[in-house]
Amino acid sequence: AQSVTQLGSHVSVSEGALVLLRCNYSSSVPPYLFWYVQYPNQGLQLLLKYTSAATLVKGINGFEAEFKKSETSFHLTKPSAHMSDAAEYFCAQGDSSYKLIFGSGTRLLVRP
């Protein structure tokens, strides 16, 4: 069965520091990969998506992710964290049935 693994349920960074959220997928074929963000009491908002057009994907709010097939990874990064980035982040993999398989989520804490 396909699965998505997010390493670290909580990540804490200082404001202005690099943000790195890790995601590994399992798929034998090129997958569709997504990062979503969820703020408290809200739904999920798409940050970025990989669709095989380019391995480095840029998203909203300064986030980007790099697809590495050899490592089956799709880590999310942002050069400089802002207080408003504090939220929960979900990595997801699309399968052939248009269903998304989500990772368990990583809560990002930003220290002033």
Residues at the interface with other proteins (CB under 8 A): 32, 34, 36, 41-46, 49, 51, 90, 94-95, 97-105
Cα 19 to Cα 31, 32, 46, 53, 56: the distances in Å are 24, 23, 17, 24, 16
**Given the complex with other proteins, which of 94 and 108 has the nearer CB atom?**
94
- Joined together, the tokens standing for residue 66 give 């790099």
CB of 69 to other proteins, least distance (A): 17
CB of 18 to other proteins, least distance (A): 26
In which element (H, E) is residue 76 found? Answer: strand 73-78
**Given the complex with other proteins, which of 70 and 97 has the nearer CB atom?**
97
**Given the complex with other proteins, which of 62 and 105 has the nearer CB atom?**
105
List of residues 6+ apart from 5 with CB closer than 8 A: 23, 24, 25, 26, 103, 104
**Given the complex with other proteins, which of 45 and 55 has the nearer CB atom?**
45
Distance CA 105, CA 112 (A): 23
